[in-house]
């Protein structure tokens, strides 16, 4: 049986470490440092950077505010760095207490019960029933407003009504497609939002304009191949081509580029 490691990372570091200056980069040092149990060899500094990173704790993406080691490649989401050792009465799982684990379970399922993505690192787990969720998903609340829909409060649709396989027929206001996982809903105007898309409002990706970081699907790869063929065709045919066809190909090219932009 795996015992939870003590996740209390709260040893604060006295200011004897000189902060490294980065005169050519836009790093904003917020002025908070910590020693974290998962990386005790170096202090972590709280920084606000616009680029995306992979959290060394939960293994998920993030952007913006983070705790980062300035001597090696170790970065944590702010909420992962401050993850509590246990959770009681969480709105997503109020019947049982949840315990923080720094490593995924060796056996059993690895899927998060909120966003339905694999839990590959830090997670809160219930020993009574096996429920688990990412630290980022823990930050979602059952009633909240999001940057993508600030006018109204969104409510988490109950699990048994959520169309757990993503086939409930709604269009998510952010990704515009069907995906698995829990769903938020606006009862005022019928807006829907996947929990997996809502995560990007918590982890800083949305606020920093970062999209499409997930691994390309089979469809995406196929589209890329098609784009290349179109590019070859386009380059071969561009001269003397009828204008209408040129527009269609140009449009395809633009879309292909848009899709590839951040990969």
| Least distance between Zn ion and beta carbon 228 (Å) | 28
| Least distance between Zn ion and beta carbon 140 (Å) | 9
By beta-carbon proximity to Zn ion, the closer residue of 47 and 80 is 80
185: tokens are 């809903």
Residues near Zn ion (CB under 5 A): 42, 55, 57-58, 69, 71-72, 74, 77, 80, 96, 112, 114-115, 126, 128-129, 131, 134, 137, 152, 172, 174-175, 186, 188-189, 191, 194, 197
98: tokens are 């949840």
Place of tokens 């499409």: 212
By beta-carbon proximity to Zn ion, the closer residue of 154 and 227 is 154
Helix-helix angle 243-260:218-237, to 10 degrees: 140
How buried is residue 262: exposed, middle or buried, by Cβ count under 10 Å (0-12/13-18/19+)?
exposed
By beta-carbon proximity to Zn ion, the closer residue of 9 and 57 is 57
By beta-carbon proximity to Zn ion, the closer residue of 181 and 227 is 181
| Least distance between Zn ion and beta carbon 27 (Å) | 16
CA pair distance 123, 105, nearest whole angstrom: 10
Residues 175-192: b if buried by 16+ CB within 10 A, e if exposed: eeeebbbbbbbbeeeebb
| Least distance between Zn ion and beta carbon 56 (Å) | 8
> Distance between terminal CA atoms of the chain?
39
By beta-carbon proximity to Zn ion, the closer residue of 114 and 201 is 114
| Least distance between Zn ion and beta carbon 232 (Å) | 34
């Amino acid at each position: 049986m795996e015992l939870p490691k003590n996740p209390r990372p709260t040893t604060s570091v006295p200011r004897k470490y000189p902060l490294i200056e980065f005169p050519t980069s836009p790093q904003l040092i917020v002025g908070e440092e910590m020693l974290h149990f998962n990386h005790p060899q170096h202090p972590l500094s709280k920084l606000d950077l616009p680029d995306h990173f992979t959290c060394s704790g939960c293994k998920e993406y993030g952007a913006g505010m983070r705790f980062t080691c300035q001597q090696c490649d170790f970065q944590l989401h702010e909420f992962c760095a401050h993850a509590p050792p246990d959770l009681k009465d969480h709105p997503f799982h109020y019947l049982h207490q949840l315990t923080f684990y720094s490593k995924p379970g060796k056996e059993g399922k690895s899927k998060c019960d909120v966003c339905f993505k694999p839990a590959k690192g830090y997670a809160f787990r219930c020993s009574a029933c096996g429920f688990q969720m990412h630290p980022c998903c823990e930050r979602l609340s059952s009633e909240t407003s999001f940057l993508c829909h600030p006018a109204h409060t969104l409510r988490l649709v109950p699990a048994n009504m959520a169309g757990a396989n993503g086939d409930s027929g709604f269009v998510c206001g952010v990704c515009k497609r069907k995906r698995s996982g829990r769903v938020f809903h606006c009862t005022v105007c019928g807006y829907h939002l996947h929990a997996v898309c809502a995560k990007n409002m918590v982890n800083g990706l949305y606020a920093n304009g970062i999209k499409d970081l997930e691994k390309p699907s089979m469809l995406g790869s196929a589209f890329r191949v098609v784009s290349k063929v179109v590019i070859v065709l386009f380059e071969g045919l561009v001269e003397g081509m009828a204008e209408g066809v040129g527009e269609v190909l140009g449009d395809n090219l633009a879309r292909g580029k848009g899709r590839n932009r951040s990969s």
